[in-house]
């Protein structure tokens, strides 16, 4: 695992954007696995800026997203399709037909199976961008006594619902289930790029960077098994997690 410790979250996002932009430059048909949540927003802004400046070209890139809430429509302001459109896809020159976010409505088990197909269609993503939950979840693969390999419907833990309640009018409105890429799809990517910031992530990052254990109680620890995983954190989080 490669660790990059930056001076600030802003710098972490620049470093992550640089890796993404370099990849699409080297391989214009690159396939990206993208993530939602607060953490990647500045990364997506930097990608949009590069596109606007004419230094990046996503015209031939393809994407597949980690997850989507069950029970809300793609045009719902808290859906991850809406998030990706407004934070990234509308702001870069990607062909939206080449972007995939699972549908949270209808037969969600069938939609999860469709996500699994899209992950591997034409080959697994060249790069998968990841955030990390306070409990170590990646995608919505929640901490627990086991993990699930294929894309599936996951029941969100109370800690995840609480963490995501900030985006909804009340915790009761947070969907209780989500479609998520499983560990197989995530681990199949050519490169994993995890960005984390904030005190809430310290325990999970400690488990990832300090301990040697790989445990389903902290799904991010599976990055230790990936041959090309890059973790980017700022010095504040590094200090809180005890990373020297």
Q: Which residues are catalytic?
A: 67, 135, 137, 142
In the set 17, 30, 37, 125, which binds ligand PGA (CB under 6 A)?
37
Residue 93 or 182: the one with the smaller Cβ distance to ligand PGA is: 182
Nearer to ligand PGA by Cβ, of 125 and 133: the residue is 133
Q: Are 130 and 35 in contact (CB under 8 A)?
A: yes
Taking CB positions, which residue lies at the least distance from ligand PGA?
Answer: 37
In this structure, what token pair is assigned to residue 36? 């939602």
Q: Are 104 and 115 in contact (CB under 8 A)?
A: no
The correct pick among 132, 204, 229, 237 for binding ligand PGA (CB under 6 A) is 132
The DSSP result for 169-185, as a single string, is: SSGGGS-SEEEE--HHH
Q: Is residue 131 within the footprint of ligand PGA (CB under 6 A)?
A: yes
Three-state secondary structure call for residue 194: strand
Virtual torsion, Cα 90, 162, 157, 40, nearest 10 deg: 30
* Among the listed residues 6, 39, 79, 191, the single contact to ligand PGA using CB under 6 A: 39
Secondary element (H or E) of residue 13: helix 9-26
Residue 133 vs 190, nearer CB to ligand PGA? 133
Of 8, 22, 38, 95, the one binding ligand PGA (CB under 6 A) is 38
The reply to whether 133 sits near ligand PGA by the rule CB under 6 A is yes
Residue 159: phi, psi to the nearest 5? Answer: -70, -35
User: Residue 171 Cβ, how far from ligand PGA at the closest point, in Å?
Assistant: 15
* Residue 178 binds ligand PGA (CB under 6 A): no
3-state secondary structure of 32: strand
Asked if 42 interacts with ligand PGA (CB under 6 A), we say no
Nearer to ligand PGA, 55 or 154 (CB): 154
Which three-class secondary structure state does DSSP give residue 231?
strand
By beta-carbon proximity to ligand PGA, the closer residue of 37 and 185 is 37
Q: How far is the CB of 170 from ligand PGA (least distance, A)?
A: 18
Residue ranges that bind ligand PGA, judged by CB under 6 A = 37-39, 131-133
């Amino acid at each position: 695992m490669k660790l990059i410790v930056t001076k600030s979250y802003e710098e972490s996002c620049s470093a992550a954007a640089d890796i993404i932009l370099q990849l699409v430059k080297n391989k214009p048909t690159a396939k990206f696995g993208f993530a939602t949540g607060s953490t990647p927003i500045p990364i997506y802004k930097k990608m949009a800026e590069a596109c606007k400046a004419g230094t990046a070209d996503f015209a031939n890139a393809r994407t597949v997203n980690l997850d989507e809430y069950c029970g809300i429509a793609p045009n719902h302001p808290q859906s991850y399709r809406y998030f990706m459109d407004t934070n990234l896809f509308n702001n870069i020159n990607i062909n939206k037909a080449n972007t995939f976010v699972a549908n949270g409505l209808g037969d969600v088990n069938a939609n999860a199976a469709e996500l699994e197909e899209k992950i591997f269609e034409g080959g697994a993503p060249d790069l998968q961008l990841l955030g990390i939950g306070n409990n170590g979840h990646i995608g919505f693969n929640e901490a627990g006594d086991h993990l699930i390999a294929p894309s599936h419907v996951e029941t969100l833990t109370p800690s995840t619902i609480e963490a995501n309640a900030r985006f909804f009018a009340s915790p009761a409105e947070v969907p209780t289930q989500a479609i998520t890429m499983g560990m197989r799809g995530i681990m199949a990517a050519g490169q994993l790029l995890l960005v984390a910031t904030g005190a809430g992530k310290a325990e999970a990052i400690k488990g990832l960077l300090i301990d040697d254990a790989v445990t389903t109680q902290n799904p991010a620890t599976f990055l230790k098994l990936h041959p090309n995983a890059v973790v980017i954190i700022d010095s504040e989080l590094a200090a809180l997690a005890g990373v020297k």
